[in-house]
Structure 1
Amino acid sequence: MSTSDLDLDQLSPSERTALETYTSVTGQEITEAIPLLRRSQWNVQIAIAKFFDGEGPDPLEEARAALPQSPPPQVNRQTRNLMTEDITEQLSLAARTTDPAPRVDTQPEDQPTYRPPFIIALLFTPFNLFVPPLWDIVSFPTSTVQCHRKPGPPGARRNTTGRRSLGPKDTAARFIREFEEEHGSHPIPFLENGYNMAMEKAHRDLKFLMVILISPEHDDTNGWVRDTLLAPEVVEFINDPRNNLLVWGGNVRDSEAYQVANSLRITKFPFAAVIVHTPNVSSTAMSVVGRIAGLTAPAEFVNRLRTAISSNQEPLERIRSTRAEQQASRSLREQQDSAYERSLAIDRERTRQRREAEAAQQREEQEAADRQAAEEKRQRDLIQWKQWRFQSLRQEPGTDAKDAVRISVRLPSGERIMRRFASDAEIEELYAVVECYEELQAGETSAVSAPIGFDHQYEFRLVSPMPRAVYAVEDGGTIRDKIGRGGNLLVEPIVEDDEEEEEGTS
C-alpha cells in the first residue's frame, strides 16, 4: 500500500495523535504503522507491544474463519501416546527457554503529581508519622512467614503506603539512590530510565539487557546483593564491554517493577533475567533468554550469564555486521554525494564567474559603444557648431580702418592665421576664428542653426611666447585691451598640456 492510498486527512485528531506517538517510538513507516494501529483498535500501547514483541494470531479472526467450516462432531474418546507426549513436553520445555519479553504500561513522564492542599496535608501529618511504622510492625510476622516459604508472585498489589508513584525515569533514579544508600557506592551501571526504554535501548544497540528485581521484604536480598551481585567477578563480567551488557534494576514496591515481576511470572526473589533481541523470531522480538532466581553463587551467576550471552551472540553479530555494511555503504554513499555536491559547487562557481566575466565584458563593450556614439555625436555637434559660428563671425575690417587690431596666430600644424579685428571685438571672437579656420578656408557654407543641447568648450589656449602670457577665453575682455594693437600668438592644446602636467607630476 502506497502513501497515496492512505488519506491522512480522513484520520480523526485522536488517530493522528496515536499515529505520531507510535511512529516516534518505533520509527516504523506510516504505510505499515496505520494498518497495525487499525488492527490494534488505535491503542498505541498494544500496537507498540505488537511491534516489539511480534504480532501473534488474532483469536477473533481465527474464530470468524472457522465459522463456515464447522468440524463434524467427534466421539468423546481420548487416546494417549506416552512417547509422543514425552517428546512434545521436551520440545515445549525447550521452546520455553526463550519466552517473549513483556512490556508494561507505565505512568507517563509528564503526568502531574497530585499534591493535597496545605491545610489537609497538615491535618493528616500525624497519620503519616504513625501509621507507616505501625503497619511495618503489624506486617512483620507476615513477611517473616513469607521468607520461610517458597516466594511467589504477589497475588494482589501490596500496600505501598508512604511510597509515592513516580514516572519511569524518576522511579529508576529513586531505585539507584536507595540502592546506594543501602549498599554504598557500587560499580553497577544501572540505566537511569524506565523498563520499556531500557528494552528499546537494548534492541537499538543490539545489546543484552539484564533485569534485576529485588524485594526488600525477603531476608535473602541484602546477602544476595552483597555476596553475589557486588562480587568482584560478577562486577567485572558486567562491566566488560565485550559482553555488551546493559543493567536495569527495580524494586517490586514500585509500580513498574511490580508489573515487570508479574509479567515475567517470577516465583522467587531475588531475580535476574537476560533479555535480548531474537531476530530468528521476528525483526522486532525481544526474548528472555536467561533466568536466575534465588540465592546463587557468584561463579554460577557468571556462568549462567555467559551461557545466555554466548548462545545468543551469533545472531546479534550477524545483525551487527549487516548494520556495519549498511553503515559503510551509507558512509560511502554520503562521501560520493558530498564529492558530487562539491563538484557541483565548483561547476556552479565556475559558471557564475564565467557569467560575471561575460556580463562585465558586455558592460565594457556597451560602455565603449556608448562612448563611441557620444564621441561621434559630439563631433557632429562640433562641426555643426563651427558652421553656425562661422556664419556669425564679424567681418574683417578693411585696410583703411586705423583702429583695427592685427593678430597673427600660429596653429599646431605650423600654419599661420593673419587677421584684423575691430578694436571692440571680444577675445572670444579671436578664439572663434581659430576654431573655424577650416570653414574660413572653405568659404561660404549653407545656413545652419546651433546644435541643441551642445555646450561647446574650446580645447586650446592662445598664448604669447615672449614674454609668455596666456589669454584665456573665460577671462573675457576685448582683443585690444588684452593684446594691444597687434601681436603674435601660439595655439596650445589644453589636453596636451594636461597630459604633460600629469607626466611631470608622476
Structure 2
Amino acid sequence: MDYDALSPTQKEAVAQLQALTDGGDAEVAINLLESAQWDVQRAANLMFEPNSSAPLSISRNSEASSSHVSTPVRVESFSVDDSEQAGLLGGRAPGRQFDRVAPTSNAVNIFLIRPLRILIAIIAVPYTLLRAILRALRIPIPLPAVPPAFSITTLGLGLSSSGFSHRPSSTKDPKIAAERWIQSLEEETGCASFSRSQATEGETSGIASGSSSVLSRRVNDEANARFLPDFFVGGYEVFAKACAKESEPKIGCIVLVSEEHDDVATFKRTTLTDPEFVRLMHDNDFLVWGGDIRDRDAWSAAQKLQATTYPFVAFIALQARRGSGSGSSQSPVLTILSRHQGSSIPAATAPTSARTLVTHLQEHLLPRVIPYLTRVRAQTLDKEAARAAEAREREHDRALRAEQDRAFEESARRDRERIEKKRAERRQAEEDARQQAEAAQRAEEQARRDEEERAAWAATRMAWRRYGRRALLPREPRPGETGRGKTVRVGVRMPDGRRAVRFFGEMDSLTAVYAFVDTLLIPDAPEYAPVGDPATPPDGEELGEQGLLRAMEKVGKKNGEWFGFRLAMAYPRKEIHWEAGKRVGEVEGLSGGQLLVELYDDLKRRVSSDSRRSSNGNENGNDSDEYETESD
C-alpha cells in the first residue's frame, strides 16, 4: 500500500511502529499493521515476539474457510491447502527445529561473546579475500559465506548479545535485502539465475541482478550446467500481490532459510540448483521469492507462513474459497498450496529435496492448480472484456448525453441571442427615438433662438435704417451748389424690380449711398413714417459714421452681413464694398451708373442651391457668374 494513500490515523500508527523499531522501513511497518488490523501493539508483537499469542493472518483447515467467507482478498491473508500434506501438518515436521536462543547475561556478552566475535571476524578477513580472488579468476569452487553475525562489518552495530538471535536485521528496504540475499546465494553456490544464463542480458525484469563475475560466467557444458531459480527482487508483499493478480495469476514458490541451521547450506547447493527443479518452475512460469529470516521482510514472511523449521519451501496460488460452489461469484483467495520444511537429505525422501519437490509438483500440485489458474485467467479476461464493453457503452452514453447537452446548449444559446438581439433592437429603437426627440427639441429650441435672434437683429437693423434715413442720408445737392463737389447721379435697381434714382455730391460719404439703399428696405407703413425716425443711434452709439462703425465691430458684421445686401455695378460687373470714410467721388464708374442691389439672404440661398446642384452633378458647365445684369 502506498504511504500517501493512508488515512491520518493509519499514518500515525505507522509512525508509532517506526518509533518502536528505531526508524524501521515504512513499507514493512505498513505490512505488519495490515496483518494486525492496524493495531500497533499486535504489530510490535508480530515483529519482536515470534511466539506471541497475537492472531496471525493464516488459518488452517475449516478455520480458513470460515475466515475468508466475507473478508475481502488481502495478499497477506492465506488459506492453507493441506490436501496433499497429511504428513506435514498432522505432527511435528521432520528435520531440525528452530529454537530461539535465550539471551545471555551482560557479563557473558562482555567477557566471552564479544571477544569471540572479534576474533572470528579477524580470521574471516583472509577467508573473504580468498573468495574474492577465486571469483575474480572465475574458478567455480563454492565456499560458504561468512555469517554476517561474525563479519567484521557488523562489529559494534548493537546486534543481540548472543549473535545468534533470529530477530530481523536493520535493513529497511526489502528490495535491497532481497538483492543482497540473492547475490550472496549466487556467490555461495557459484550459479547464476536460469533466465540470465539462458537469455540475453537484461531480458527479464523483477529478477535479481547478481555480481559481475556471476553474470559473465559462461556455461560450457549445458548438460551438467546448474542454475538458480529466477528469484523475484522486491518485498514479500509485492511478490504476493504479483502472484494474486487475477489477470495473470502465477504459482509462487517461497524459500526461507536460516544460517543457524546446518541443513541450509546443503539445501542451497542441491535443491536450489537442481536443473530439473529449476527448469520445471521456469517452464511453468513460477514466481520465486526467498530470503534469510535475519532480514525483516523474510522474518515477517516466516511469521505469516508459520515456518518453524528451515530450510522452508512453500507454494502459494489463487484458489477457490473453501465452501464456495463451482458457480460461486466470490473472488479467489491466495492460498498456501503446500509447505515443505526440514532437511534435503536423503534426496529421495527428504521433505525439501529436489526429487521430493519435483514429484510433488508434477503429480499433485501442477495438475490441480494449472487448470484452475487458466480458468481464473480466462474468467478475468472475460470480466475485463465485459468491463471494457460496459466502459465503451458508458462512454457511448456519455458522448450521446454530451452531444444532447451540446445541442440543448446551442439551442438555448441561439434563443438567448435572439432574445438579446430583440432587446438590443428595442433598446436601440428607444434610444433612436429618444435621440430624435432630443434632436427635434434642440432644433425647435435652436429655431426659436434663431427666430428670436433674427427678430432682434431685424429690429436692430430697422432702427439703424430709420436712424440712417434721418442722420446718415444727406439731402440731394441743389442746382449750382458747389460745397459738396460735383453732382453724381446714382441709379438703383432693387431685387423686386423697383428702380430708384438719387443725386449725391462727390464729397458725400459712401455710407450715404448705402443708407439710401437701406431706406428703400423700410416698409411703407404708418408706423415707419419718417417723422418717427430716431435722432440718435440705437444702443447709445456715437453719432454719425463712427457710431455705425462701432456698432458693426460690436456685432462682428460688416458690409453685406451688416446691411443685409451688397451693391454691384451692372456692367462691367464690379462690387462696391462699404468702407468707412470713403467718398462717392472715389468710387470709379459710380456716376451715372446703375447699381444692382443683391440681398444677402438671397445670396446665401443661391450659393446653397448652387452647392446642391454641383453635388448632384447638374452643373451645365457655364462660366457665368449667374448674376443678372441690366444695362441703363
TM-score, normalization by structure 1: 0.48
TM-score, normalization by structure 2: 0.40
